[in-house]
Amino acid sequence: MTPVTVRVPAKVNLQLSVGPRRDDGYHDLMTVFHSVSLFDEVTVRPADRASVRVTGQDASQVPTGRTNLAARAARALAAAVKRRQSGVQIEIRKRIPIAAGLAGGSADAAATLVACNELWQAGLTQAELSEIAAGLGSDVPFALLGGTAIGQGRGERLTAALAAGTYHWVLAFATGGLSTPDVYAACDRLRDAAPVAPPELSTGLMAALRSGDPAAVGLQLSNDLQPAAVSLRPDLRRALAAGEESGALGAIVSGSGPTCAFLAADARQAGELAVALTGAGVCRGVVRVQGPVPGAAVVAGEPG
Ligand code: C5P
């Protein structure tokens, strides 16, 4: 069997509206996911024993045992297709930082599902893979789909969004990460038991996305987790302010943070923003990306 390599993007949330805490501990969401051109690559090879190897960005902090989300994805797929031997060597080349609010771990799990489906010639459809993905984590189905999509439920129920144009972003990476459960818990604490309305889709954002006008989209970005992320990492305030002062059309914490995402008018302004943010010393590094891009897809190892 030829090794299979899958490339998978990071995401930002253009809208992240968080409803009340549910009995199962999760929160009902209304979110707009947007995949961006920062990619991890996952290669799977047949092996007698399951193993995970991680190289690249933050590699030393990624667990490589059975708890690794990519390893769990391989086992979940093997169980779903009743494959007795799930032994597979998983190699993850990371460019997406971990615990950054960019769904890097979810991306690796989605890539592993697509790669093993191909390696084992299991023939599961996108819908079947998406169901397994939802059992692995709230953001995993979107990493399969990519593009710009509305997420409901825990974030796993997806509908493609009508979005025109290409958007130019600068992502500012923070030193250290944030734990997603900690950020949701901080969000609950900040709300202090005040009643929370069910989250609703932003019609303003939808109209802006249909128009393809980055200035309109910039004005509509929203993230209910941002106050919680900033309460845990007050330094993010400086990064957001630096981006705004440098002319970003929108400045927002990505997902549960601590990465900040800045929307630019075009590629040239994204370059200027990247320089300004680096010069301001408010982050450990910046990267320029575009969105939307497609979800997890095989890049090498196709039959023949
Ligand atoms: O689904 P996933 O494992 O990625 O979620 C990680 C954690 O984030 C959950 O354990 C929960 O604390 C929080 N979460 C949430 N509501 C969501 C998604 C995630 O509270 N819709």
Percentage of the residues of the chain whose pLDDT score is greater than 70? 98
List, chain by chain if needed, residues with CB within 6 Å of any ligand 1 atom.
Answer: 25-27, 29, 137-139, 154-155, 180-181, 184
Q: How many CB atoms lie within 10 A of CB 3?
A: 14
- Which two structure tokens, joined as six digits, stand for 167? 């958007």
What's the CA-to-centroid distance between 183 and ligand 1, angstroms?
Answer: 10
Q: In the chain, helix, strand, coil percent, each to 5?
A: 35, 30, 35
Residue 234 lies in a domain: yes
Domain co-membership, 183 together with 116: no
Question: For residue 194, what pLDDT band results from cuts at 50, 70 and 90?
Answer: confident
Residue 301 lies in a domain: no
Q: Report d(CA 104, CA 193) in Å as an integer.
A: 31
Q: Report d(CA 176, CA 15) in Å as an integer.
A: 24
Residue 285 lies in a domain: yes
Domain endpoint, select from 126, 142, 161: 161
Domain endpoint, select from 132, 161, 190: 161
Q: Residue 304: pLDDT above 60?
A: no
What's the CA-to-centroid distance between 39 and ligand 1, angstroms?
Answer: 22
Domain endpoint, select from 104, 134, 161: 161
Domain co-membership, 72 together with 142: yes
Asked whether the beta carbons of 170 and 262 are under 8 A apart, the reply is yes
What is the residue range of 11's domain? 4-161
Domain co-membership, 67 together with 174: no
Q: Tally the domains of the chain.
A: 2
What's the CA-to-centroid distance between 139 and ligand 1, angstroms?
Answer: 9
Q: Please write the tens of the pLDDT for every residue from 145-193.
A: 999 999 999 999 999 999 999 999 999 999 999 999 999 999 999 998 7
Q: Whose CA is nearest to atom 20 of ligand 1?
A: 26
What's the CA-to-centroid distance between 274 and ligand 1, angstroms?
Answer: 31
Domain co-membership, 115 together with 214: no
Which residue from 11, 22, 30, 180 has its CB within 8 A of the most atoms of ligand 1, so it is best to mutate?
180
- Catalytic positions, please? 11, 139
Query: pTM, whole model, 2 decimals?
Result: 0.96
Q: Report d(CA 257, CA 226) in Å as an integer.
A: 8
Task: Report CA torsion sign: 52, 53, 55, 60.
Answer: positive
Asked whether the beta carbons of 14 and 217 are under 8 A apart, the reply is yes
Residue 303 lies in a domain: no
Domain co-membership, 192 together with 232: yes
CA angle 197, 199, 202 (to 5 degrees): 125
